[in-house]
Structure 1
Amino acid sequence: MATGFSFTLHATDGRARTGVIATPRGEIRTPAFMPVGTAGTVKAMLPESVRATGADILLGNTYHLMLRPGAERVARLGGLHRFMNWERPILTDSGGFQVMSLSGLRKLTEEGVTFSSHIDGSKHHLTPERSMEIQKLLGSDIVMAFDECPALPAADEAVAASMRLSMRWARRSRESFGDRPGHALFGIVQGGVSRDLREESAAALTAIGFDGYAVGGLAVGEGQAAMFGVLDYAPDLLPEDRPRYLMGVGKPDDIVGAVKRGIDMMDCVLPSRSGRTGQAWTRRGQVNLRNARHADDPRPLDEECQCPACRGYSRAYLHHVVRAGEMIAGMLLTWHNLHYFQEIMAGMREAIAAGQFEDWERGFHVLRAEGDIEPLGRPGAA
């Protein structure tokens, strides 16, 4: 493992784990949720505000940053950390998922992918070697191997061919990454919902050897039951002494279910994307601030939450600025959502360390099942 990067497991409770990933730019407490800073920003948030929610690490998108402003430009300006004013760890994805999901015309070969930019239609060529180069130029602390991520459902033959191509690309990524002390390279397990293919992929990656391992190719349309079905065995296929990262997940109950099954790291655009559309995630479930029931409600979104949206503003105000399309609506609700997601992670870390994860999980689900507080004016309202 690269000098300056390490993973220490502190406690387990069932299959749930808590520990610390050490990097030269700071420690990452696990289980960890990584807010997504797609284009060098977590939308509607200042970097110091993201840190204040409890985030130890951000995710940046290779695909978006290579197209705009360009990896070479970011490198000339001192790297992504300085560019976006975030001095803590950054993980960058490889670009493979966005190439498959966002690009227009694209051609896939053994060498890599040629695609058209979704911004201006310009042609680009992305290979394992180029992906490693871009992520090095960005200066990311945790680099992801270049892979292909097919949308599900898909035929077994297509999933198998895609997975084996990704494994060949993983070896090329490993060779191109080289020896970079203080920086880590993660391999990505593919294989859809097939246990045989997942086992083959995990064995191939373990043989190559990575600093951490991701479970990829989930949260792409297969549904929670199928995702949990894979997670019932997939984390156990990977080395215990390396971080396990579930890519692109998810909703609060997805996150809790993933940690229960042995996952250490997750990322998702959901908290920020929901915040920009008037959706808040709370311990009592999802709240739509566009609904008229909030128009005269002086109560906070969540009385127990300590985020700025809940400490300083009423549901009535949040409803007003959401309906009026004011920028502060997305700012406040994104801060709240990110704060709540980090609160979930902190709660799980504490519960696992105390050997009380099962009790914590039960309480999490019970409160969510109760639903939002009663509207004012109804029997039982606060």
Structure 2
Amino acid sequence: MFEFEIDKRDGRARTARFATPHGTVQTPMFMPVGTQGSVKGISADELTDIGSQMILGNTYHLMLRPGPEMVAAHGGLPGFTAYPGPFLTDSGGFQVMSLGHMRQINEAGVVFKSHLDGSLVNLTPERSIEVQQLLGADVMMTFDECPPFPAEEPYIQASLERTVRWLDRCLKAKTREDQALFAIVQGGIHPRLRQQSLDATLPFGTPGFAIGGLAVGESKAEMFPAVAYTANRLPENKPRYLMGVGHPEDLVAGIALGVDMFDCVYPTRTGRFGYALTDDGRINMNSAAPRQQLIPIDPECDCYACTHHTRAYLAHLVKAEEMLAPRLLSLHNLRYLHRLVERARAAINAGEFQAWATDWGERYFRSQKVTSQTGGSQLPAWFVQALRGEETVSS
């Protein structure tokens, strides 16, 4: 039911097929985030049209509103949202971390105040699994503690040990065979702690593994060596999911390190703020230049915004605060990331990933005027390190 079959390898990068009850997806892939049962501003048909293969739903938000029982009454997230493909649900751990002073963590779980009405909510590993089973996602995530950055090593160690104990409880609470539960490897940016988490987590043999505890405030120079260290030690025959990461340069670097799955609110959030993603960097549609440009956002893009409208029109919508502006920009940004991973898959299948990734990076970072410490190219040092698979964490 959850078969993972690798098609091609090119260095650490690989393409594969991941079979789920609601369809087989091609990896590497980017998953749009539907926090509250909706990818903001984008319909289910549009998600399918732009090439979305799997959508992420949020356990914390859907638990509070409308409640998992209401979602279950629709037959789970596919019936509730009308998106027919696979879903992945996070466990609520990241949102609990972000609540800060509004929550208390103990061995049993987390008690926190609802951001909606201030009522006390108790979220345990067992409750997280119960909610995710009612939501009916194809892939569920184990309930974990995600330490903030920066955090002291003793705290990170204690939290990863607790995450392993919670994993055991999640597996014991799981009753549905048509849902896969992925374990999460923690450890921050510290190789010793990453290895400790790997040693404790891998024996559980879950159908897939996530790389957690990153993209929480550390620099990319700190993050990607940790990704390299973890990915290199995860099973070859199971999907690897880098949680909460989705900038274009992050996708290319992560794919080079053997990551298969990504998610992030970045494409829709930047769309709502008036930014469009391209191979030449972000275009600020709030600025003056696009208002005079009678060309698409990206002539190479096949999304609705690029095939029907000019930059000048879209910039006008942004300036006029029309509702259509964030919709069209979000649609384009999502399609851009889907096209990016599609191009990466094609390069891997052709055995040309390193050359493609280098060429893409030279173009993308040129607009950011980045000078590498590795020889004067446009590529930043952390990106070059990722393409090489280097695991040394920057001090």
Fold in common (TM above 0.5)? yes
Structure 1 residue ranges (4+ consecutive) displaced by more than 6 angstroms after TM superposition:
none
Structure 1 unmatched runs, 5+: 373-382
Distance 1:195 1:272 in 2: 33
- Structure 2 contact 30–246 (Cα < 8 Å) conserved: no
Q: How does 1:92-241 map to 2 (within 5 A)?
A: 92-102=89-99, 105-178=102-175, 180-241=176-237
Note the C-alpha offset of 1:53.
1.2
Distance 1:76 1:50 in 2: 23
Distance 2:202 2:295 in 1: 52
- Structure 1 contact 104–118 (Cα < 8 Å) conserved: no
Q: CA RMSD in A?
A: 1.2
For the residue of structure 2 that corresponds to 1:250, the secondary structure is coil
Q: Mean alpha-carbon deviation: is it higher for 77-86 or for 260-269?
A: 77-86
The residue number in structure 1 matching 2:53 is 56
The normalised TM-score by structure 2 is: 0.91
Distance 2:358 2:74 in 1: 48
Distance 1:156 1:366 in 2: 36
Distance 1:95 1:194 in 2: 24
- Structure 1 contact 103–115 (Cα < 8 Å) conserved: no
Distance 2:266 2:155 in 1: 29
Structure 2 unmatched runs, 5+: 369-395
- Structure 1 contact 148–163 (Cα < 8 Å) conserved: yes
- Structure 1 contact 104–117 (Cα < 8 Å) conserved: no
The residue number in structure 1 matching 2:80 is 83
Once the two structures are superposed, residues 26-56 of structure 1 have per-residue CA deviations (whole angstroms, 9 ceiling, x without a partner) of 0111001000000000001001101111111
How many residues in Structure 1 have an aligned counterpart in Structure 2? 368
Distance 1:195 1:80 in 2: 37
Note the C-alpha offset of 1:84.
0.6
What is the letter of the counterpart of residue 230 of structure 1?
A
Q: For residues 103 and 153 of structure 1, do their structure 2 counterparts lie closer, same or farther at Cα, with a shift above 3 Å needed?
A: closer
Note the C-alpha offset of 1:87.
1.2
Percent identity over the alignment is: 48
Q: For residues 363 and 99 of structure 1, do their structure 2 counterparts lie closer, same or farther at Cα, with a shift above 3 Å needed?
A: same
The residue number in structure 2 matching 1:37 is 34
Query: Does residue 1:264 correspond to 2:264, yes or no?
Result: no
- For residue 8 of structure 1, the aligned residue among 5, 10, 22 is 5
Note the C-alpha offset of 1:370.
4.1
For the residue of structure 1 that corresponds to 2:104, the secondary structure is strand
Distance 2:100 2:45 in 1: 32
Distance 1:119 1:264 in 2: 34
The residue number in structure 1 matching 2:270 is 274
What is the letter of the counterpart of residue 328 of structure 2?
L
Distance 1:203 1:276 in 2: 41
Distance 1:94 1:56 in 2: 20
Query: Does residue 1:311 correspond to 2:307, yes or no?
Result: yes
- Structure 1 contact 103–117 (Cα < 8 Å) conserved: no
Distance 1:283 1:48 in 2: 26
What is the letter of the counterpart of residue 92 of structure 1?
T
- Structure 2 contact 93–145 (Cα < 8 Å) conserved: yes
- Structure 1 contact 249–267 (Cα < 8 Å) conserved: yes
What is the letter of the counterpart of residue 37 of structure 1?
G
What is the letter of the counterpart of residue 318 of structure 1?
L
- Structure 2 contact 274–318 (Cα < 8 Å) conserved: yes
- Structure 1 contact 103–116 (Cα < 8 Å) conserved: no
Once the two structures are superposed, residues 222-255 of structure 1 have per-residue CA deviations (whole angstroms, 9 ceiling, x without a partner) of 1111111102211121111110000000210011
Distance 1:73 1:300 in 2: 42
Distance 1:76 1:54 in 2: 28
Note the C-alpha offset of 1:323.
1.1
